[in-house]
Structure 1
């Protein structure tokens, strides 16, 4: 199962995109699934990816499977696709949020699979509360009770897998968070983005040099009312333009790969064209 989980590595897909390297699939088929290939359970590399993903769902629901399920069952189904941007692995303070989305508000999803420990959760949630409007813990339905005992302000979403069907339930809604740390927010932004926040609020950019730019803008950030700063921060993040509408055009098993790699239609099609080739060992 760990070998199947490794198929969905962004490093492997980057090599496929750049070099046409299918060895990460060929080696697994040769080692584990040559008999299944002979029996006709799959023919193309894309067929094999779908086969491996199905096995993960049945037996080894890892972080990738959770992220992909959140994209498919929550984000795509329940949000305005044209106005929502989402990110995989979003750094906040000392933590990295598994999945985040920005619409009219910000929301984070921290994944805890059966294989994960809640050991680092308290610190992660402390960091997320400095930035996000709503924070969720997403876990397997068998683990829900354990995580309902964690921070009462964080929501809990359970992933259910029944007879090959996946669905999510919100077992506890998140309480809206009104904290907003100006310094944490600014560290999440690129130079042009935090400059745009300053200009949007004050109407101008003050005179500054490349040496004092960060400190000058940080001082101005701290003087913006938190609620307004939160709004401007979300607008700046959404300017990155990767809306999730494009993901609906991609194979559902590969949407998290596409999100993590920020794939456009052309690059994604390049990958799919190669995966559609018949398997050759």
Structure 2
């Protein structure tokens, strides 16, 4: 289905954190109602509920040439995190700050694996610098892109970087495997990806005591100690800590009550446990009622 530019933009914004938060906090979303109006009921096919509308909207932006970053994130969540792994053994982080870049998706299981998304709507201009940064922070680095960008990505990405393609049927194909190499990680870069308390836990797990210092000095002291450690040991410690501090195991029941189209949104948008039932009720709302949310 070819989608007009304005309708495509509205369908893409439907999956924003703003819509998700409104439904969780209020049980409704005026932004959702406005975007559905912009998209047009005819584009949502036979959608009966809010859940159906999300699925139809995702389908409309899954057409090659129109796919947004969200389409790729949802595919990674469904086919890699929940397909190859599980929430018992892995966690998915999004928008992880690494030096001057933000890693789109990071999956933590027995190692750290980053997926940089380059959809057909993205430029590859920043890719070399992004990959340089990610190779200093993660053991396994991948680019997931479209068939249209594949040849250029092959030219840009170092041989140790894995390449995946989200094909026209929405399946992820592995073109080249990533080299898993925690030895190349730079402790200073890895430290920047953590919360200070997480860094302290990593050091503690390595048997390194953090001295009692004033709060104004704590960050610098922890950073200096962290940067003295060996990359492989640090990486193992970080994986152990983050799989506990960033665990998503508690989301299993929540995810099972949401449509396929909202998998990535649920995994990347923090929602308080007390708001989850309200959000589930919101997505079950009849669309004719939700169109009047205000």
The residue aligned with 1:101 is: 107
Cα drift, residue 147 of structure 1: 1.0
Cα drift, residue 45 of structure 1: 1.6
Alpha-carbon separation, structure 2, partners of 1:32 and 1:222? 50
The residue aligned with 1:239 is: 244
Residues 34 and 157 of structure 1: is their aligned pair in 2 closer, same or farther, counting only changes over 3 Å? closer
Specify every segment of 5 or more residues in structure 2 that has no aligned partner in the other structure, as ranges: 1-7
The residue aligned with 1:268 is: 276
Q: Deviations over 1:6-53 (max 9, x none)?
A: 10000121122223343223223334424567xx71222221111111
**For 1:11-26, what aligned pairs fall within 5 Å after superposition?**
11-26=18-33
How many equivalent residue pairs?
276
Residues 212 and 69 of structure 1: is their aligned pair in 2 closer, same or farther, counting only changes over 3 Å? same
1:192 to 179, 188, 197: 197
**For 1:1-281, what aligned pairs fall within 5 Å after superposition?**
1-35=8-42, 41-58=46-63, 60-151=66-157, 152-162=159-169, 166-177=170-181, 178-243=183-248, 246=252, 249=256, 250-263=258-271, 266-278=274-286, 279-280=288-289, 281=292
Cα drift, residue 232 of structure 1: 0.9
Q: What's the TM-score once normalised by structure 2's chain length?
A: 0.86
Q: Deviations over 1:256-278 (max 9, x none)?
A: 11111133665333212112122
Native 8 Å contact 1:46 1:272 kept in 2: no
Cα drift, residue 181 of structure 1: 1.6
The residue aligned with 2:3 is: none
Residues 29 and 185 of structure 1: is their aligned pair in 2 closer, same or farther, counting only changes over 3 Å? closer
Specify every segment of 5 or more residues in structure 1 that has no aligned partner in the other structure, as ranges: none
Q: Which range moves more in the overlay, 263-272 or 210-219?
A: 263-272
Q: Which range moves more in the overlay, 246-255 or 140-149?
A: 246-255
Alpha-carbon separation, structure 2, partners of 1:89 and 1:169? 23
Q: Which range moves more in the overlay, 135-144 or 103-112?
A: 135-144
Residues 267 and 180 of structure 1: is their aligned pair in 2 closer, same or farther, counting only changes over 3 Å? same
Q: What's the TM-score once normalised by structure 1's chain length?
A: 0.90
Residues 115 and 31 of structure 1: is their aligned pair in 2 closer, same or farther, counting only changes over 3 Å? closer
Question: CA RMSD of the aligned region, Å?
Answer: 2.1
Residues 33 and 182 of structure 1: is their aligned pair in 2 closer, same or farther, counting only changes over 3 Å? same
Alpha-carbon separation, structure 1, partners of 2:155 and 2:231? 30
Native 8 Å contact 1:67 1:256 kept in 2: yes
Alpha-carbon separation, structure 1, partners of 2:46 and 2:188? 53
Paired residue secondary structure (2:127): helix
Paired residue secondary structure (1:57): coil
Native 8 Å contact 1:76 1:248 kept in 2: no
